[in-house]
Amino acid sequence: MNRFRIWLIWPLAIAGNLAIGNWLFSSAYAKDTEELGKCICENKVKAEADNCLDKLKQSYWQDNKYSEFVDLLRNLHPENKSIVPSLSYYIALSRYQQFKYLEETKGWDEYFAKGNDYRNDIVKETGKSLEATALDDPLRIYSRLLIYQFHKDQQDTFTEGALSDLMSSTLEYAKAIGQKAMVGPQIAQANKDTEPIKEVADKLLSYDEKAKAKELYKIYAKGLVNSDIKDGALKDKAAGFYKDGNLELAQDIYDVYIERISKVLPKDKLISELAGIASAFSYQDSGFKDMFYAEKIFQKIEEIGGLEAFNEELIYLRGFNLEKNKEYRQAKDIYLLLIQKYPESKHIDEVTYKTGLIFTYILRDAKAGREYFDKLADKEGDNPYALSSLYQMGLLKQWEADFATAKGYYNKLIEKSERKVTDTFQMAQDRLKEIAEGTSMEHNLKTFMDTSLKEEFVNLDMSKVDLKSNIYQPKVDQAVDISSSTNLSSSGCFNVELQYLWSCDLGDAKPGVNQPEFKTTYKNQGTKIIGLVLISPSGITERSLDLIDAR
Amino acid sequence: MSPLSLRGHFSLVWRTVPILLLAICFLAAAPRGRPKVFIKKLKNNHYQLIVEHKPYIIKGVCYNPIPISQNYEYDWWSDPNKPWIVDGKLMKDMGINTIRLYQVDGDSDAVKRVIRDLYKNYGIRTILGSWLGFWEYPCPFYGDKKFQNKVKKEVLEMVSLYKDEPGVLMWVLGNENNYSCLGTVNPWSSDEIDKEPDPQKQKAMRAKIYYSFVNDLTREIHKIDSDHPVALGNGELVGLEFANKYARDVDLVACIIYRGKTFGNLFRSLKLTFDKPILVSEFGADCYDAYLKKEDQNMQAFFLESQWRQIYENLAGNKDGAGNCLGGTIFEWTDEWWKHDQSNPDSWSVHDTTSNWSNGSYYFDIKAEGNKNMNEEWFGIVALSQDLEQGINKRVPRKAYYVVREFWKKPILNNKRNKK
């Protein structure tokens, strides 16, 4: 009876579908559809039927025939009843996809006419699927995920509840498959079963639900650890996720890996492994990075081996990583360590100059800053850091209205640079001209100096404006994009007119006051400081700076 | 008088006095009738607006029918062609039951005529508001008692003039005035604030002054009009933590929200910050695609339908919502052609397509140059034609008009939670 019913309905389903859209007249297409339909209806093995269902979905979706696919699924009556929840899920999934498609392609007539029906299908069909699935069935969490995505995309009131349901179902699923793995000899299968957990975590990460994603990644990583995976393979897994750009998961697996090797490796080998991981996550212009995680690993190295565990390169890398993460105070401490331990380091000029800058413009301690500029000022030749230090010393004196001393520093700079026209040389010329003409320092620069060094601006803590460069280690003459993003109090529909006072090492650019971003190039190597003061209708609102290393 | 008759008289007094006393007591103890309009807090802590004994969902629009070629100074109240008659009919057909007026100026008889016409002919009620001097030049001096008294006088005059109009629904004090407390918009100060070096403390001082002032106004309104609620107009939820301290007497908040598709966590956040009912008093979307540089009525309809769905999700009685929403007033009924270049009268006859602000939540045209995608002159759910009909610019309802009308007829929320 049942079989008869299937055979009766199946051609009808196809015929109905043909009537709906003439696209199915393509005979090859129809043949594929018929074969896959049969596979779904007659297959006794659920996994195989699901596979056919997925193939069928692909063939309809590629032509955006969502309604036709839904109609077809509604007319399928498989012998194996365990397929039915999958049909419900695919109906809901298709409606979800259709909704997105209509919005993207602005299919508004259908959107407004059928929108409520489609929404209803998503809720109703996922409900059916959930009703019919057990805790350890991946379809259950896929259904939960779908309903969460639906509410999240709608940005409606039910998103929070759907997320909570999704997390509960995923945790129940993890528990259920964990128990299954404990009692059975199917470890490999158990590993395969954890993939849906990762998929949910990936999706949550894409929706910016970092904490929830992390929670699930940890479960997924734990699943790997509980299996018989070797340390090397675990490391490879982590490296693989790193290469794929899934840094959250890579970090979770590296954490497990570190926990394991901490128990077995001798100290020096352990530190070497950690240094490799920290380097991978440290700041670099291209490739994946997570400066916070890198610093966490640097701290672990320090815990294990003390500061002695850091060689010259590792100290520099840590300091540079902190600096790029705008953790200037900590960066300065690490740079000081390098200055103290490796006075002959190839990085010594750069870190000495940067220490001077951090003291002066971040910590507002020009006296301490000068000490470091002074160390470089007497260096022989046209060392870019020596020239920049002379410029900084001249600038501080000019700002203090000690013009004679300022002039001395600028002249020394020009003399040392052997009249080669560099960015620093040009700026020194500009300052000398100001002194010679008795005019005040260039307005933007003076405002930056005032806000950086005067007590009355101590409240400007660089939190309301963030500066970013597309690259931080450009080559000479390579284009650099510098942009600012503001984090000011909200102003509703009012458009707050902001002014951007750019100053310091702007290279060949002269950005105007209305420009929140600009492009520049540098003529010579060295560390460049970008200064910005933000002006709103209520006056000076914030200051910020960024450091770029032209190599 | 015989002792008998005396006794009879005493007996009469004896019988009558208690009845009189009882009647007096009853009259004294009898509760005054419920206000015409009030907000009821339900047992589940949801809020419901009650108008003449019945629950009332505010299905409203912001109304400022400035004709093409005029600007905000135009006295439409006195327009002999009575644009509100044409508009009222269209509104009623759509399902609108409320208009919001930002501020009423000028001839009070003309204003009353508008309120009465809309109410008597179409059952449409009016929300009356005040800018609270926000646009005073050079800035609103909320820290100055003289300024406060001037504004107070104007507000109380408005309440006295219109409180007995049957069509009045409520009062809204201010609009986005709270942003001035942050110092970026219409910044104001006082000697005391100027002495405070910490900008955060300065903001807190301004907020205290402003919200205390609104609270003071609310109390004064309550004294002369107990029949209509008083709303605190506020841009987003910004500063409501201060309102929670200093403006406890307001009956509800009227928030201006432009968050695109929906209102995010607005309703729940409000419950945590300042547990008052909320009217979404300004929201919506423009219908000009600044990226493709053409009108896109569907885009506007898409946002408005989605926004109304969330308003309904958060009305009283929906157990999955916050239950604190009383409804909304869409911004706005008709386009206003004067807005982009206010100082240039020539431009008031041009439907300007230049945008001057950006909002990423309205994502369809966010790739417009400089990300400026919000077109101030294109927010109407009804377009204005340059052709005249009955002496006014012909009204052309946009797609949003019909889509929202259909939603109101059958509000479907898709809120069934799968319990298993």
Q: Which two tokens stand for residue B85?
A: 């008659």
Q: What is the pLDDT of residues A520-533, one digit of tens each?
A: 999 889 999 999 99
Q: How many Å lie between the alpha carbon of A355 and the closest alpha carbon of chain B?
A: 29
Mutation for testing the A interface, residue in B282, B414, B420 having most A CBs under 10 Å:
B414
Q: CB distance B412–A537 less than 8 Å? A: no
Q: Tell me, yes or no, if B140 comes closer than 8 A to chain A by beta carbon.
A: no
Across the range A70-84, mean pLDDT stands at 88
Mutation for testing the B interface, residue in A157, A459, A535, A542 having most B CBs under 10 Å:
A157
Q: Which residue of A has its CA nearest to B357?
A: A495
Of all residues in chain A, the percent with pLDDT exceeding 70 is 91
Q: Tell me, yes or no, if A493 comes closer than 8 A to chain B by beta carbon.
A: yes
Q: CB distance A158–B313 less than 8 Å? A: yes
Q: CB distance A492–B320 less than 8 Å? A: no
Q: Give B 300-359 residues with CB within 8 A of chain A.
A: 301-302, 305-306, 309-310, 313-314, 318, 320-322, 356-357
Q: Which residue of A has its CA nearest to B403?
A: A112
Domain boundaries, chain B: 52-409
Q: CB distance A157–B314 less than 8 Å? A: yes
Sequence letter at residue A543: R
DSSP structure string for B72-119: TT--GGG-TT-HHHHHHHHHHHHT--EEEES---S-HHHHHHHHHHHH
pLDDT at residue A11, rounded to an integer: 41
Q: Which residue of A has its CA nearest to B238?
A: A490
DSSP structure string for B58-70: EEEEE---PPTT-
pLDDT at residue A45, rounded to an integer: 83
pLDDT at residue A200, rounded to an integer: 96
Count of CA atoms in the C-beta half-sphere (13 A) of B231: 33
CA B341 distance to own-chain centroid = 26
| Residues of chain B positioned with their CB less than 8 A from the CB of A494 | 176, 179, 184-185
Closest CA to A517 of A527, A536, A530, A504: A530
Could you tell me how many CB contacts below 8 A there are between chain A and chain B? 123
Q: How many Å lie between the alpha carbon of A498 and the closest alpha carbon of chain B?
A: 10
Q: Is the N-terminal amide bond of A313 cis, ω within 30° of 0?
A: no
**CATH code, B52-409:** 3.20.20.80
pLDDT at residue B105, rounded to an integer: 84
Q: Tell me, yes or no, if A112 comes closer than 8 A to chain B by beta carbon.
A: yes
Q: Which residue of B has its CA nearest to A112?
A: B403
Of all residues in chain A, the percent with pLDDT exceeding 90 is 69
Q: CB distance A158–B415 less than 8 Å? A: yes
Q: Would you state the torsion angle of the CA atoms of residues B47, B48, B52, B54, taken in this order, to the nearest 10 degrees?
A: -150
DSSP structure string for A475-541: PTT--EEEEEEE-PPP-TT-----EEEEEE--TT----TT-SEEEE--SS-EEEEEEEEEEETTEEE
Q: Tell me, yes or no, if A426 comes closer than 8 A to chain B by beta carbon.
A: no
Q: Would you say B383 and B335 are in contact if contact means Cβ atoms under 8 Å apart? A: yes
DSSP state of A458: T
pLDDT at residue A23, rounded to an integer: 44
Print burial letters for B112-136: b (CB count within 10 Å at least 16), e (below 16).
Answer: bebbebbbeebebbbbbbbbbbbee
pLDDT of A6 higher than 80:
no
Mutation for testing the B interface, residue in A108, A143, A156 having most B CBs under 10 Å:
A156
Question: Sorting pLDDT into bands at 50, 70 and 90, what band is A451?
Answer: very high
Residues 6 or more apart whose Cβ sits within 8 Å of residue A370: A356, A360, A393, A396
Q: In 10 A of CB B48, how many CB atoms?
A: 19
Question: Sorting pLDDT into bands at 50, 70 and 90, what band is A12?
Answer: very low
CA B18 distance to own-chain centroid = 51
- Which helix or strand (DSSP H or E) is residue B270 part of? helix B266-273
Q: Give B 70-89 residues with CB within 8 A of chain A.
A: none
Q: CB distance B256–A492 less than 8 Å? A: yes
Q: Which residue of A has its CA nearest to B261?
A: A155
pTM, two decimals, is 0.81
Ramachandran angles phi, psi of B338, nearest 5° = -90, -10
pLDDT tens for chain B, 420 residues long, are: 333 333 444 454 555 555 555 555 444 444 457 789 999 999 999 999 999 999 999 999 999 999 999 999 999 999 999 999 999 999 999 999 999 999 998 899 999 999 999 999 999 999 999 999 998 877 889 999 999 999 999 999 999 999 999 999 999 999 999 999 987 788 899 999 988 888 889 999 999 999 999 999 999 999 999 999 999 999 999 999 999 999 999 999 999 999 999 898 899 999 999 999 999 999 999 999 999 999 999 999 999 999 999 999 999 998 889 999 999 999 999 999 999 998 899 999 999 999 988 899 999 999 999 889 999 999 999 999 999 999 999 999 999 999 999 999 999 876 655 544
Q: Tell me, yes or no, if A459 comes closer than 8 A to chain B by beta carbon.
A: yes
| Residues of chain A positioned with their CB less than 8 A from the CB of B203 | 489
Q: In 10 A of CB A412, how many CB atoms?
A: 18
pLDDT at residue A185, rounded to an integer: 45
Q: CB distance A111–B302 less than 8 Å? A: yes
Q: Give B 87-106 residues with CB within 8 A of chain A.
A: none
Q: What is the pLDDT of residues B143-161, one digit of tens each?
A: 999 999 999 999 999 999 9
Q: CB distance B199–A459 less than 8 Å? A: yes
Q: CB distance B264–A119 less than 8 Å? A: no
Q: What is the pLDDT of residues B102-133, one digit of tens each?
A: 999 889 999 999 999 999 999 999 999 999 99
Q: CB distance B258–A492 less than 8 Å? A: yes
Q: CB distance A131–B420 less than 8 Å? A: yes
| Residues of chain B positioned with their CB less than 8 A from the CB of A115 | 305
Q: Tell me, yes or no, if A113 comes closer than 8 A to chain B by beta carbon.
A: no
Range from A2-6, A155-159, B64-68 that averages highest in pLDDT: B64-68
Q: How many Å lie between the alpha carbon of B20 and the closest alpha carbon of chain A?
A: 57
Q: CB distance A112–B183 less than 8 Å? A: no
Q: Tell me, yes or no, if A134 comes closer than 8 A to chain B by beta carbon.
A: no
How many helices and strands (H and E) does chain A possess?
A: 23, 6
Q: Tell me, yes or no, if A119 comes closer than 8 A to chain B by beta carbon.
A: yes
Q: What is the pLDDT of residues A185-224, one digit of tens each?
A: 444 455 568 889 999 999 999 999 999 999 999 888 887 7
- Which helix or strand (DSSP H or E) is residue B241 part of? helix B240-246
pLDDT at residue B149, rounded to an integer: 96
Provide the edge-to-edge strand list for the sheet that holds B37-41. B37-41, B47-51, B54-55
CA dist B306 → A468, A531, B300, B310 (Å) = 36, 44, 10, 7
Closest CA to B328 of B65, B37, B99: B99
Q: Which residue of B has its CA nearest to A143?
A: B418
Mutation for testing the B interface, residue in A150, A485, A490 having most B CBs under 10 Å:
A490
Which of B258, B262, B403 shows the shortest C-beta gap to A156?
B262
Domain boundaries, chain A: 356-441, 462-550
Q: What is the third-level CATH fold of A462-550? A: Immunoglobulin-like (2.60.40)
Q: Tell me, yes or no, if B182 comes closer than 8 A to chain A by beta carbon.
A: yes
Q: CB distance B185–A488 less than 8 Å? A: no
Q: CB distance B418–A537 less than 8 Å? A: no
pLDDT at residue B19, rounded to an integer: 58
Q: What is the pLDDT of residues A471-487, one digit of tens each?
A: 999 999 999 999 999 88
Closest CA to A227 of A270, A260, A263: A260
C-alpha to C-alpha distance for A291 and A276, rounded to whole angstroms: 14
Which SS3 state, helix, strand or coil, does residue A401 take?
coil
> Which residues, listed in sequence order, are joined to residue A547 by a DSSP beta bridge?
A529
| Residues of chain B positioned with their CB less than 8 A from the CB of A493 | 176, 235, 256, 258, 357, 374
Which of B176, B187, B264 shows the shortest C-beta gap to A155?
B264
Q: Tell me, yes or no, if A22 comes closer than 8 A to chain B by beta carbon.
A: no
Q: Which two tokens stand for residue A212?
A: 């929830």
Q: Tell me, yes or no, if B199 comes closer than 8 A to chain A by beta carbon.
A: yes
| Size (chain A), residues | 551
Q: CB distance A492–B236 less than 8 Å? A: yes
Q: Would you say A501 and A444 are in contact if contact means Cβ atoms under 8 Å apart? A: yes
Q: Tell me, yes or no, if A146 comes closer than 8 A to chain B by beta carbon.
A: no
| Residues of chain B positioned with their CB less than 8 A from the CB of A538 | 183-184, 187
Q: Which two tokens stand for residue A86?
A: 């999958």
DSSP state of B48: E
pLDDT of A35 higher than 50:
yes
Residues 6 or more apart whose Cβ sits within 8 Å of residue A197: A141, A170, A173, A174, A216, A219, A220, A223
Q: How many Å lie between the alpha carbon of B189 and the closest alpha carbon of chain A?
A: 10
Residues 6 or more apart whose Cβ sits within 8 Å of residue B299: A106, B285, B287, B289, B362, B364, B365
